[in-house]
Amino acid sequence: MPQYIDSDSNETPDIFNPEVIDEVTTSISKGAQRSIKDILKFIVPNLVKRNILNPQQPIVNIRISGDGRNVGKKVKHDMITFAILDDIDNIHNPNYHHTVVLYPGSENYESLDMLMIPFRNELHELTEIGLIIGGINWIFNLYFSSDWKFLTICLGFNSANSLFFCPWCLISKKEMSNVNKEWSISKQMDCINIYNGHHSVPLFNMIPLDHWIPDELHIMLRITDRLWNLVLHEIQETGYFNDVAREIIVKEMNRIKVNFHFWQEKGCQTWSFTSLMGQDKLKVLQFFDLSTILPPTRARAIRMLWDGFYDLYMDIRNPATNPKTFKRNAKMWLKIFLTPSTGVPNSDDFVQGLYRPNDITPYIHVLVFHIHEFMEKHKKWGLKSFSCAAVENKNHQQVSQFFRKTLRDEGNGANRKSAIVQILEFENRKLHYNINDSQVTPKMIKLQV
């Protein structure tokens, strides 16, 4: 029987240009960083001038984010950024997420731990004593948001496929089948390593655990992946995953204007398929006609499940959503997801259910049991304010634009600056441009790189 694999995984390259891959590979372990305190001293006066911050209530809310960009098949380009949550109108603009750490190499705890020592020392100082800017001692509240993998690495926690998989509550995979049990954010940062699965000291242990917020974009991406893979698995199990079915799927994708293909690697029996971007996944979730590949009754049942998840995702992004209403709707959606079969198999009264508790993923668990908690705790900002789309776009742009040797310093061989240095110098110039609303590119300001 043919098999398929999802080509959209953490190991799928985001950058394919061989010149870029070669340049990033030669930069492995050559990380660099900027001082968050220096940047804050530069931007806070402007935020006061724009009435974003109030010197009479000198509190600044900072969101830390991280992203690892796959360059080729073996290298990650990791970046750590911060943004000012109070500047809510610019929170989705990549230019207002300030890069503080860049590191090409392996995305792992040990590398990030070593590289971020100066940055973490500064964060401790900001939270413990504040920072004097313009004669005022500013106090800082910190938040952290990233995709699941980066979040758990920084938290010193198990991967998502472990027995104890949730960063916020005590559930184990053995308890996933008990959907009637309530799970809530119950761990505390000051004693985090007494809980199962926490193997190392969190890299940002100055940030309370309920300020570690899952990225709403990846909630949509990964749960949509799960729903789509379950449909493909069902077609495969029924023996209809053949050339005709694949052609029908591709035609339906074309109808909703999504570029999609299946293919087999040479000498391989498994099928790969196109890795879709976020907007294309939303198109599939909303508009893919499941009746083209499933019996009508089955298609309607799964369509209701997909529509329910789309509605939940829209509610996550809507700051006006009532957390209690969301909790109720999310639990109702999970019950639909776990609809059991009824009747006797192979008889006229048999009605096939949907999915099993084993099909629940960590992201589904967070959607149902924790998102309403984050909504309630952080309703001032809204969960959309913790989306990592801007950070991912920034990382992709930096890697694509700066790790091309023919475009840097006119290709002057050994005299070329490191791409890492050029990125941070560009960040300095862009920061000056944004603060001063300049119409021409200014000279580089002096922030330590």
Would you give per-residue pLDDT tens digits along the chain (449 residues)? 334 444 344 445 454 455 544 554 444 456 788 999 999 999 999 999 999 999 999 999 999 999 887 765 566 778 999 999 999 999 999 999 999 998 887 788 998 998 899 999 999 999 999 999 999 999 999 999 999 999 999 999 999 999 999 999 999 999 987 888 999 999 999 999 999 999 999 999 999 999 999 999 999 999 999 999 999 999 998 888 899 999 999 999 999 999 999 998 887 878 899 989 889 999 999 999 999 999 999 999 999 999 999 999 999 999 999 999 999 999 999 999 999 988 888 888 888 899 999 999 999 999 999 999 999 999 999 999 999 999 999 988 877 777 655 344 444 544 455 777 788 888 888 887 777 764 444 444 444 44
> Of 355, 377, 399, which residue sits at a domain end?
377
The pLDDT value given to residue 74: 61
The pLDDT value given to residue 407: 40
Examine residue 168 and state whether it is found in any structural domain, yes or no. Answer: no
Q: Comparing C-alpha atoms, which of 245, 271, 233 is closest to residue 2?
A: 271
- Residue 351 shares a structural domain with residue 414: no
Q: What are the b/e assignments for 74-108, b being 16+ CB within 10 Å?
A: ebbbbbbbbbbbbbbeebeebebbbbbbbbbbebe
- Residue 224 shares a structural domain with residue 371: yes
Beta strands 59-71 and 136-146 are parallel
Examine residue 290 and state whether it is found in any structural domain, yes or no. Answer: yes
Per-residue 3-state assignment (H helix, E strand, C coil) for 283-347: HHHHHCCHHHCCCHHHHHHHHHHHHHHHHHHHHHHCCCCCHHHHHHHHHHHHHHHCCCCECCCCC
- Residue 370 shares a structural domain with residue 239: yes
- Residue 134 shares a structural domain with residue 70: yes
Owning domain of residue 402: 13-147+388-436
Q: How many domains does the chain have?
A: 2
The residue type found at 336 is I
Q: Which residue has the tokens 């006061």?
A: 48
- Residue 98 shares a structural domain with residue 122: yes
> Strand, coil or helix: what is 81?
strand
Q: Which two structure tokens, joined as six digits, stand for 289?
A: 């006609």
> Of 357, 377, 397, which residue sits at a domain end?
377
- Residue 397 shares a structural domain with residue 366: no
The pLDDT value given to residue 75: 66
- Residue 329 shares a structural domain with residue 369: yes
- Residue 236 shares a structural domain with residue 372: yes
Examine residue 352 and state whether it is found in any structural domain, yes or no. Answer: yes
